[in-house]
Structure 1
Amino acid sequence: MLITLLYALLVSSVIATENDSRPPRLNNTKAAEAFIDSAEVVVIGFLEGEDSHGYKELIVAAKRVDSVPVAICTVKEVWADYGLSSDTLTLFRKADNHQENLVLAEIEKLESDGLVNFITINEVRYITEYNQVTAVGLFNSEVKSHLLLFANRGSEEYTELKERLGALAPEFTGKFLFVLINGALQSNFRSLEYFGLKSQDLPRVGIYDGDSDMKWLLPEGEITTDRVREFCQSFLRGELKEVKQAGAETKTEL
């Protein structure tokens, strides 16, 4: 009798754990807005139900990309508020106020690996570490101006500078994407060379403007919030266009 009771409790515990691990349900627009506002990057599966094409794959993908909160919305009145009319996986990010839609009906072979790729490629944050995966999302963004922090992972200032500039980034939402480039990685040496830098020159801060394909460096010195803020504002005022670009043969900085 005791063994049967313990077994029943164990089974119910497992079921409860499985249920608790399922993404939360968003039943109205207010709940959806609160969820979107809860993190820098979130994903909502706008699906008719658990039998929908892509539901099981999304559950698997959500467990693999646990850095991005995932929720489900089956209420079509809410879908309309986000311009959706069919089953869609949507990623919302604050860094550039962007909504990236993946219409599931348009995908013939839908796999969890593909959904993981969709999430990780588009996981642009207030400060995003540059690599081959995140580069796709960064350069596909409508925001073409990048504030670049070049720093060597493992250095004393790496974490502090990442947090400092990450805290500044919200001030420039829609104007800049803040990007961290780890100068200790050989795969990033070309990015450093593009700015006329070497790993031993770091940390440094630069701006790259994708629209004009121009680039500048913040002058050497302490990388403070005020200096970086003023550097960004100088670009927005158009003042950097008169300054010689970084990486030029005779390098002149602001």
Structure 2
Amino acid sequence: MYLRAACLGWRAATEGPKAKGNSGSDRRFKPCQWILLEEVFQSKGEEMLLVNTNTSRFLRRREYSGERTKDAIMAWINKKLGPAMQNLTIVNEAEKVVTGDDVAVLAYVHDLSGAHSDELDAASRLEDTVSFYQTTSPDVAKLFHIDPEEKRPSVVLLKKEEEKLTVFDGEFRVSAIAEFISANKIPLITTLTQETAPTIFDNPIKKQILLFAVAKESSKFVCILKEAAKSFKGKVLFVFVELDNEEVGEPVANYFGITGQETTVLAYTGNEDAKKFFFSGEISLDNIKEFAQDFLEDKLTPFYKSDPVPESVSREELSNIYFLWHY
């Protein structure tokens, strides 16, 4: 009930407890007898540890970190209730996947059961926001731009954003497949909105490079960061924040200490020991790539907000009057 009251996406995806025909016995509205032990057993936001007060049963559950929209929540629920991976053997069904799914992974295999199928199924259970399919049909493979004559198993990731098709070329193992999907499932650069915020700030990739710009001047800078992002997949998240967006952009800019509407690029560590690093110079592809590489290698100097440094001051006086802080 509390989640339904607070979350617009959940409210849109579920029928109200007072709706006609609802007896009030729907278990979605009665998550009772479970206590969250997050404060005692820290899981860094990736999983939640719960205990049942009736049976003393312990349970680990991943926190939902997808978009707060009806379609995204329903897709996540359906995946949790159904099989993590589905067989795709009919062309008509495959066409619906190609045009309908935001992010889909298809494996072209010899058999729909066996070692390769098990590896893909295990990888699918690590991803809540990606749809997984496998097929033995050459016609279905063609729809996903896989050459039927290629060596099997073949895996591709299809998404609606730039770089619509990405081909997996690693070893067919759970860890390699999961790493490939994690690095390629997100857009090259994500525009920060209320819906996309969870996919950014709850992402296991904590290092971020943020572009702050007003909408009408952003296109040329967004293109530069998109191109740079191709070299840092799975390592750095690239985010665009609209400075003139009163709902999201302005509060986030204030959080990072950015005033006015001047185009700004900064790097942010995004973890408990959060630090920010401001980019200076011309926003060009080479400069942004160099900035991102230095960020990964910890070569940048963090920004600390402080009073101006006096021209002449002793070490003791400095320690007493100088206080550094960051957001």
Q: Helix, strand or coil: the match of 1:76? A: coil
Question: How many residue pairs are counted as aligned between the two chains?
Answer: 174
Q: Which has the higher contact order (CA 8 A, sep 6+)?
A: 1
Aligned counterparts, 1:1-254, within 5 A: 46-48=85-87, 68=103, 75-77=112-114, 78-84=116-122, 89-90=131-132, 97=179, 99=181, 124-155=186-217, 158-186=218-246, 187-201=248-262, 203-211=263-271, 212-219=273-280, 221-240=281-300, 242-245=301-304, 248-250=305-307
1:59 to 1:168, Cα distance in 2 relative to 1, 3 A: same
Query: Runs of 5+ in structure 1 lacking a partner?
Result: 1-44, 51-55, 101-121
- C-alpha separation in 2, matches of 1:200 and 1:161: 14
Q: Helix, strand or coil: the match of 2:122? A: coil
Given that 1:145 and 1:177 are in contact with CA atoms closer than 8 Å, whether structure 2 keeps it comes out as yes
Q: Helix, strand or coil: the match of 1:179? A: strand
1:75 to 1:168, Cα distance in 2 relative to 1, 3 A: same
How far apart are residue 249 of structure 1 and its match? 4.1
Give the letter aligned to residue 225 of structure 2: L
Backbone CA RMSD of aligned residues: 3.9
- C-alpha separation in 1, matches of 2:308 and 2:289: 22
1:83 to 1:123, Cα distance in 2 relative to 1, 3 A: closer
TM normalised by structure 2 equals: 0.44
Given that 2:85 and 2:121 are in contact with CA atoms closer than 8 Å, whether structure 1 keeps it comes out as no
Determine what percentage of the aligned residue pairs are the same residue: 24
Query: Runs of 5+ in structure 2 lacking a partner?
Result: 1-83, 134-156, 160-165, 167-177, 310-327
Which of the pair has more CA radius of gyration? 2
1:150 to 1:46, Cα distance in 2 relative to 1, 3 A: same
1:90 to 1:49, Cα distance in 2 relative to 1, 3 A: closer
- C-alpha separation in 2, matches of 1:70 and 1:172: 21
